[in-house]
Structure 1
Amino acid sequence: MTEVLFYHLQRQPLEAVLPTLVEKSVERGWRVAIEVPGEERMTALDDHLWTYKDDGFLPHCTDREPDCAHEPVLLTTGSANLNNADIRFLVDGASVGDDAAGYQRIVLMFDGTDDVALSRAREEWRKVRAMGLEATYWQQDDNGRWSKKG
């Protein structure tokens, strides 16, 4: 059964959290899709994943590239599972789709300082529960570690 994790970003921005979670997913042998709402955001995250740390990068491609189906990490603006991902990260308001059952895990990340993002995350929570999927809520502690709440 697909597990949907809601990550409430309060202490760090998406750009600090997402690369680490994607790296851990790849280490598990999972293929990864990262869904963003538009081209501008996809371009910004594409650049960021190549440069986010001094001693390395996260190999990936975007859905604009013809061989994207073969890549283990894909940035996309669409909902199709182009690279046969095991885990899908939804950022900046991307929504859980009807194809959620096709993933081992979906991670919905939302900005805890943005009232609109909080409202959307609550709507997504209700939607996921209505779909009969397991949903868990995660927050960072003061040390930056993620812990499941309630």
Structure 2
Amino acid sequence: MRVDFYQLSRDPAEVALPLIAGKVIGSGERLLVVSADGEQRKRIRQALWSAGPDTFLANGEVGDGQEERQPILLSDAPQPANGAKFMAIADGQWREGSEPFARTFYLFDESTVQQARGVWRELRSREAVEHYYWKQEGGRWIQAG
């Protein structure tokens, strides 16, 4: 299991997620995006659809139907109805699925940084968990500490 911690300082999750989602989809995988905030999920969906004329990222939300066909599925729970092995947590609230995801992208901001630090410490104590920390610097994501 791998967890990538993304500290949002400049851009909100709806700006960062299309970049992550594009790489996941480009590698042939599916993505589950989780947020308890329905308005945030709506903003993320719009950002994914309008990522660019050649790069729009097809997506759907749990409850819309045909979830299993969606390359990117948005939900309020870590249950990959689309068969995703990759999950992005957009609202900064850590959660895990009943089955571990191969890779989790954990996005958090200043309001959830304390929880993220606790999750980092907890994951360090687990065997077979890789974790990486990314931060924004000059408009780019760089791996830190």
Interval containing the TM-score (normalised by the shorter chain): 0.7 to 0.9
* Partner residue, 1:7: 6
Q: Does 1:90 align with 2:92?
A: no
> TM-score with structure 1 length normalisation?
0.84
- Quote the Cα distance in structure 2 between the aligned partners of 1:45 and 1:84: 20
Please report the RMSD computed on the Cα atoms of aligned residues, expressed in angstroms.
1.9
| 1:114-133 correspondence runs (5 A) | 114=110, 116-132=111-127, 133=129
Query: In the TM superposition, what is the alpha-carbon distance from 1:63 to its structure 2 partner?
Result: 0.5
Q: What letter corresponds to residue 3 of structure 1 in structure 2?
A: R
- Quote the Cα distance in structure 1 between the aligned partners of 2:55 and 2:76: 25
In structure 2, stretches of 5+ residues that fail to align are none
Q: Does 1:138 align with 2:134?
A: yes
Q: Deviations over 1:106-139 (max 9, x none)?
A: 010112xx2x311121122123223432111111
Query: In the TM superposition, what is the alpha-carbon distance from 1:62 to its structure 2 partner?
Result: 0.4
Assess if the C-alpha contact under 8 Å between 1:35 and 1:94 holds in 2.
no
- May I ask how many residue pairs the two structures share in their alignment? 144
Q: Deviations over 1:27-46 (max 9, x none)?
A: 00011110011323222322
Secondary structure at the residue paired with 2:93?
coil
Change (3 A) 1:21 1:98: closer
Secondary structure at the residue paired with 2:135?
strand
In structure 1, stretches of 5+ residues that fail to align are none
Q: Which moved more, 1:46-55 or 1:35-44?
A: 46-55
- Quote the Cα distance in structure 2 between the aligned partners of 1:93 and 1:100: 20
> TM-score with structure 2 length normalisation?
0.86
| 1:1-150 correspondence runs (5 A) | 2-53=1-52, 56-97=55-96, 99=98, 101=100, 103-111=101-109, 114=110, 116-132=111-127, 133-142=129-138, 144-150=139-145
Secondary structure at the residue paired with 2:80?
coil
Assess if the C-alpha contact under 8 Å between 1:59 and 1:73 holds in 2.
yes
Secondary structure at the residue paired with 1:34?
strand
- Quote the Cα distance in structure 2 between the aligned partners of 1:78 and 1:69: 15
Runs of at least 4 residues of structure 1 off by over 4 A? Answer: none
Identity %: 28
Assess if the C-alpha contact under 8 Å between 1:96 and 1:128 holds in 2.
no
Q: What letter corresponds to residue 126 of structure 1 in structure 2?
A: R
